[in-house]
Amino acid sequence: MKIITSIFDLNKEIKDYKNIGFVPTMGGIHAGHISLIKASQNKKSKTIVSIFVNPTQFNKGDDFKKYPRNIQKDIAILKKLNVEYLFTPNTEDIYKFKAKKFNLKRKDKILCAKFRVGHFEGVLNVMNRLMTIIKSKDLYMGEKDYQQLYLIKKFLSKKFKARINSCPTIRINNKIALSTRNKLLKKRSINKASEIALFLKKIKYKSKLQGSKLAFNLPDYKKELEKKYNIKIDYLEFRDEKNLKLSNFKNKYRLFVAYNIDSVRLIDNY
């Protein structure tokens, strides 16, 4: 595996490759990331993984500082996976050139965009820059960050004529979704989050039988979860998979949730 730290060296290394898959990450490589890498390896001749903890998508400075980092462990995992390229740029290199700024419209300020002001503008900004640098026509991203996946498809896939390949969420024992942030949780909170995941899966199952009738009961379920597990839920909503509008239960839909536990914000969808 070649580890590349500068845009200049990266351009020189991959300029002649057409069939290359791109897996953008912020490190803390886990089984979810590995599933994206393997999806790329199954289709592309070479795969490039980026590790860059993007400061512009964090609402709080403390959150950015506390974000789990272990580059040596990540490198060891990626080498075992036979990844061809690892791109680890610094902030100055990523942000040294001018690029379009993105502003979400009111209709897009839902779910996490409502509670994390500026977060997705930061995500779109850095992804626009990374896609400009790497020029891959195939990106691999997980469905756990479904709103992020949706917005990147909406704003960037046409611009770069790129396919945003979505991969299923990987879970611990079919419960809590894997996330780098999980490393900040205490063991008892992992257990709580697993119980919450099972509860929400049951709600999703019930919704297939009751539809909009169950949607009216979501505020009660929200209160029940908050009281039982001593958590603060930002949102618990059924939304359409295609456009993220509140679900009419006639098309494919998902149950979206975000909550705080141990001062760590977890998101998921079912």
- Least Cα distance to 196 among 174, 218, 176, 215 occurs for 176
Distance CA 175, CA 268 (A): 11
| pLDDT given for residue 49 in this prediction | 98
Distance CA 199, CA 95 (A): 42
Same domain, 161 and 202: no
Same domain, yes or no: 189 and 90: no
Is residue 180, in this structure, part of any structural domain at all?
A: no
pLDDT, tens only, 222-268: 999 999 999 999 999 999 999 999 999 999 999 999 999 989 999 99
Tell me whether residue 178 is in a domain: no
- Rounded percentage of the chain residues whose pLDDT exceeds 70: 100
* 139 shares a domain with 97: yes
Q: Are residues 125 and 200 in the same domain?
A: no
Residue 97 sits in a domain whose CATH number is 3.40.50.620
The structural domain count of the chain equals 2
Task: Give yes or no for a contact between 39 and 142, defined as CB atoms under 8 angstroms apart.
Answer: no
Predicted confidence (pLDDT) at residue 9 exceeds the cutoff of 90:
yes
Whether residue 192 sits in one domain with residue 123: no
> Residues, the chain, total?
270
User: Does residue 146 sit in the same domain as residue 23?
Assistant: yes
Residue 48 lies in a domain: yes
pLDDT at 267: 98
Which of 20, 21, 33, 221 is catalytic? The answer is 33
Range of the domain at 247: 185-265
Two tokens, residue 235: 């949102």
Token pair for 114: 């409502």
* Residue 260, beta-bridge partner list: 232, 265
The predicted pLDDT at position 42 comes to 96
- Among candidate residues 115, 135, 167, the one where a domain is terminated: 167
Flag whether 88 is in a domain.
Answer: yes
Cα–Cα separations (whole angstroms), residue 135 to 48, 78, 121, 234: 11, 21, 20, 36
43-77 per-position pLDDT tens digit: 988 999 999 999 999 988 789 999 999 999 999 99
Give the per-residue pLDDT at 160. 96
Q: Does 33 participate in catalysis according to the annotation? A: yes
Statement to judge: residues 40 and 133 lie in one domain: yes
| Torsion sign across C-alpha atoms 177, 179, 182, 183 | positive
